Structure 1
Amino acid sequence: MPATAKASIFHRVTGVALFFALTFVIWAWSESLSSAEGFEFVKGLFSGFIAKFIAWGTISVLAYHLIGGIRHIIMDMGHWEELESGNFSAKVALALGVVAAILAGVWIWF
């Protein structure tokens, strides 16, 4: 499968994942703002592996979706539409997504 197809499909998949991840984000935000006890509850949740993994996944998905979205906007302006430049921009977007996921993991777990 060409890099352009992978980048485009992954951009769509991350959009769907963000839709579902926002339920966790909105719930955690609402709970943490409801009271001091709610804040402490959410803070305690984020000391566990599962919540950290969900947060890492959400941040990683958001980062790639942002990178892919910027790539698509640039393409809508008429740039990177040729085969060679399109493949290169897709590979760069995928690589930046991996870097963003690694940085998010370092930020959350270390």
Structure 2
Amino acid sequence: MSHSPATRPQARPMSPHLTIYRWPATMLMSILHRITGGALYFGTLLIVWWLIAAATSEQYFDFVNGIFGSWFGRLVLFGYTWALMHHLLGGVRHLVWDTGHGLEKDTSTQLAWATLAGSVVLTVLIWAGYFWLGA
């Protein structure tokens, strides 16, 4: 079947590939908010494991506490702390938006970067306090 020039199907434009597309800060923070929400679920299971160990026996608690006190356990807890702070600040950012404030493009971008910076600063402060108190 032959199409006349007027009825020939138009070629659809291709979407840019993800490696070409520049992600806006608000999109990146939205994705991180979802990822940290999932990470918090699994991190909370670790906290529950620690609490169950504390209620079980001294030997089992020492075993679990030893895992959390290892370099890998502390790295996981550091990541959990960051995820908690990032998710918390992301929730505050959304709460601000729910009031109708901060929705302008520049302001929302600044809030997105502030969420990331604030989560890093809070995480470092929490862990600095932990080590300062004699961990």
Identify whether the pair has TM-score above 0.5, normalized to the shorter chain: yes
Q: Is residue 72 of structure 1 aligned with residue 94 of structure 2?
A: yes
Partner of 2:12: none
Q: Does 1:52 align with 2:52?
A: no
- Equivalenced residues, count: 110
Residue 38 of structure 1 deviates from its aligned partner by: 3.6
1:56 touches 1:108 (CA, 8 Å); kept in 2?
Answer: no
TM-score (norm 2): 0.71
Measure, in 2, the Cα distance between the counterparts of 1:49 and 1:108: 15
Structure 2: where are the runs of 5+ without partners?
1-22
Higher relative contact order (CA 8 A, sep 6+): 1
| Greater gyration radius | 2
- Report the RMSD for the aligned CA atoms in angstroms: 1.8
Aligned to 2:20: none
Output the amino acid matched with 1:81: L
Report sequence identity in percent. 34
The Cα of 1:51 is off from its aligned counterpart by: 1.3
| Alpha-carbon displacement from aligned partner over 1:34-71 (angstroms, at most 9, x marks no partner) | 33334333333333112111111111111110011110
Q: Does 1:94 align with 2:116?
A: yes
Structure having the higher helix fraction is 1
Matched with 1:20 is 42
* Conserved 8 A contact 2:50-2:65: no
Please give the alpha-carbon distance, in whole angstroms, between the structure 1 residues aligned to 2:109 and 2:49. 39
- Write the distance in 2 (CA, Å) between the matches of 1:83 and 1:47: 43
Of the structure 1 ranges 8-17 and 37-46, higher mean CA displacement relative to structure 2 is found in 37-46
Segments of 5+ residues of structure 1 without an aligned counterpart are none
- Note the C-alpha offset of 1:107: 4.4
